[in-house]
């Protein structure tokens, strides 16, 4: 398996012939984006690789469609490059694509292609903030990917989520080969102490539960509303329990890295 971290939540995975793009964000840096309740964020870092350099794409995994830091204008326009798009049920109604499929947590689809092993993708639990914020922030899912009927995921993309009961129960002893862990501790001045994604401390707890062989932090740099950016998160994870700290791999932006996988 090869993974290239592109920036923000976006990564590109090459695995047994499958070419997989996560949460496409390809707008240049510098723009201010508006969210709900008067909140906003500035994109501080552009993509490390241009979208056109990643084609062809077999499947794009969109954890949610409603926030520009996970699907921006260029990312949305670029979905045409993907053969299939998987997202939330609400996202499938919003995204225009010839093969877009909406999943709720627990739903699975199996994709096939000539010369490639069957790829099963299961939507996993997410909650993008406190329980009462769900009607405002909307639905989110993560994705667990398995090849050819394997019993454990080769890749788990957590999606934008806080740490909460359903996620902990799902993650316990999941043991994926690689976990893409969305962090950043998203906060806005307008909503005070409320957070909408995990802190590094919470990510360490989740990693300890899931026990991935490798954990790759994403969604931890490049936007002004990430209250805990890469340097701060790195210090926390370096001080985590030994098994957690040993699993962390910080991928340089734009550089392909290879991982040996068992599943």
Task: Please state the pTM of the whole predicted model.
Answer: 0.97
Q: What is the pLDDT of residues 72-97, one digit of tens each?
A: 999 999 999 999 999 999 999 999 99
Specify the residue for token string 């329980």. Answer: 131
pLDDT band at 262 (very low <50, low <70, confident <90, very high): confident
Percentage of residues of the chain with pLDDT beyond 70: 100
Q: Is 79 left (phi over 0), alpha (psi -120 to 50) or beta?
A: alpha
Q: Report the half-sphere exposure of 22 (CA within 13 A, side-chain side).
A: 31
Give 226's DSSP letter. B
Specify the residue for token string 């010369």. Answer: 115
Give the angle 161-195-244 at the CA atoms, nearest 5°. Answer: 55
Q: How far is CA 114 from the centre of its chain?
A: 27
Q: What is the pLDDT of residues 20-29, one digit of tens each?
A: 999 999 999 9
Instruction: Write a three-state SS string for 16-55.
Output: CCEEEEECCCCCCCCCEEECHHHCEEEECCCCCCCHHHCC
Question: Residues 45-68: what's their mean pLDDT?
Answer: 96
Residue 238: the pLDDT is 97
Q: Is 263 a residue whose pLDDT tops 80?
A: no
Residues in the chain: 263
List of residues 6+ apart from 150 with CB closer than 8 A: 263
Mean model confidence pLDDT for the chain: 96
Biggest alpha carbon–alpha carbon distance for the chain? 51
Task: State how far the alpha carbon of 167 is from the alpha carbons of 69, 101, 174, in Å.
Answer: 22, 22, 11
Specify the residue for token string 């840096």. Answer: 29
Q: What is the pLDDT of residues 106-161, one digit of tens each?
A: 999 999 999 999 999 999 999 999 898 888 889 999 999 999 989 999 999 999 99
List of residues 6+ apart from 131 with CB closer than 8 A: none
List of residues 6+ apart from 67 with CB closer than 8 A: 35, 137, 160
Specify the residue for token string 């370096």. Answer: 238
Give 80's DSSP letter. G
Residue 239: the pLDDT is 98
Q: How far apart are the C-alpha atoms of 149 and 214, rounded to whole Å?
A: 21
Specify the residue for token string 């129960």. Answer: 169
Helix (H) or strand (E) holding 87: strand 82-88
Residue 148: the pLDDT is 93
Specify the residue for token string 């099963």. Answer: 120
Specify the residue for token string 């909406």. Answer: 102
């Amino acid at each position: 398996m090869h993974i290239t971290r592109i920036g923000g939540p976006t990564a590109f995975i090459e695995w047994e012939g499958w070419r997989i793009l996560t949460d496409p964000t390809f707008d240049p840096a510098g723009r201010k984006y508006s969210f709900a309740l008067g909140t906003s964020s500035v994109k501080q870092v552009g993509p490390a690789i241009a979208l056109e350099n990643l084609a062809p794409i077999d499947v794009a995994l969109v954890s949610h469609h409603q926030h520009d830091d996970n699907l921006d204008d260029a990312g949305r326009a670029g979905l045409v490059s993907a053969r299939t798009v998987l997202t939330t049920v609400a996202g499938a109604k919003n995204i225009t694509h010839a093969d877009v499929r909406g999943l709720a947590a627990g739903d699975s689809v199996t994709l096939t292609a000539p010369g490639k092993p069957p790829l099963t993708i299961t939507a996993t639990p997410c909650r993008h903030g406190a329980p009462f914020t769900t009607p405002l922030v909307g639905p989110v899912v993560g994705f667990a990917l398995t090849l050819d009927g394997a019993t454990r995921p080769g890749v788990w993309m957590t999606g934008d989520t806080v740490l909460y009961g359903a996620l902990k129960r799902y993650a316990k002893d999941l043991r994926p080969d690689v976990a893409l862990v969305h962090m950043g501790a998203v906060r806005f001045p307008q909503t005070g102490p409320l957070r909408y994604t995990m802190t590094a401390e919470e990510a360490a707890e989740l990693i300890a539960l899931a026990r991935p062989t490798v954990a790759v932090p994403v969604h931890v740099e490049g936007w002004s509303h990430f209250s805990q950016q890469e340097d701060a998160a790195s210090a926390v994870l370096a001080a985590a329990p030994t098994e957690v700290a040993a699993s962390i791999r910080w991928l340089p932006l734009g550089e392909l890295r290879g991982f040996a996988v068992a599943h």
